[in-house]
Amino acid sequence: MKESSLNPPTENSGTNAQDTTHYRVDTLGPICYDDMKIPVDTFMGTETRSNTATDFEKLPEGPPCQLIDGELLMTPSPSYEHQNLVLEIATSLREFVRTRNLGSVVTAPMDVYLTESYVYQPDIMFISSERQHIIHEKIKGAPDIIVEVLSPSNASYDLGHKKEVYGQSGVKEYWIVDPVEKSIEVCLNREHEFALREKTQNEGVVRSSILTGFSLQIGELFSS
């Protein structure tokens, strides 16, 4: 386990006993627990600053955390429906990739270092055989394909700023799975911006352009 730079408050610290999610920040900048930003000056009386990927690597293992535009953000665990969809898609994708020796399929929580200010944990990612060099203890570079399953708390971000960052970072194909609409959008990277290739809802087949031959039956996926 990495050396922790976050120290839980002691019984004598004066912290409310029920406030168990707040930690003293020794070297890092703004932290967010359960979607509530906690700046370093809350604890240290110093100015806040942006965090970097180097700061992120100093964090201890623990709940999922992402580095978004220099801020460290933590969110509650996903719903059962979300995780069930992730498992169904990842299982189908992994079987397709493994039987053809096309590369690797990885699921969250796995840190993906895209820039010095952005470290995400995509729900599902495909990394081709040609790009296996980006796989280390963490992923250091853009996967070929990223799949995100929307949740109420992250839908606007996955459809907006995160999509933009993925495009600028070189992700070739982006799948957006919407459990409410029962739809999947497939977007392709065109000069570092994503363009919608297809959107399939309720019934029909959705196909990958990067992984020729890989497809999902929408009706079967959302009825599982």
- The pLDDT, as a whole number, for residue 116 is 86
pTM flag (> 0.85): no
Among 111, 31, 114, smallest CA distance to 72 is for 31
Residue 144 contacts residue 103 (beta carbons within 8 Å): yes
Q: Give how far Cα 199 sits from Cα of 27, 37, 88, 104, 222, Å.
A: 44, 35, 19, 25, 15
* Residues 139-164 pLDDT 10s: 999 999 999 999 876 777 678 888 99
Question: Both 150 and 216 in a single domain?
Answer: yes
Burial-class residue 207 by CB neighbours within 10 Å (0-12, 13-18, 19+).
middle
Co-location of 47 and 118 in the same domain? no
Residue 142 burial by CB count (10 A; 0-12/13-18/19+): exposed, middle or buried?
A: buried
Query: Among 37, 53, 74, which residue terminates a domain?
Result: 74
pLDDT recorded at residue 66 = 65
Question: pLDDT under 50 in the chain at which residues?
Answer: 1-47
**Domain span including residue 131:** 80-223
Whole-number Cα distances in Å, 4 to 25, 75, 169, 198? 10, 19, 29, 44
Q: What is the pLDDT of residue 92?
A: 98
The CA distance from 178 to 218, in Å, is: 11
Of 140, 101, 108, the closest CA to residue 125 belongs to 108
Compute the distance between CA of residue 199 and CA of residue 202 in angstroms, rounded to an integer.
10
Question: For residue 123, what pLDDT is reported?
Answer: 95
Do 110 and 180 have their domain in common? yes
Whether 88 and 128 share a structural domain: yes
42, 57, 74: which is the final residue of a domain? 74
- Per-residue confidence (pLDDT) for residue 117, from 0 to 100: 83
Same domain, 141 and 165: yes
- Asked if residue 1 is part of any domain, the answer here is no
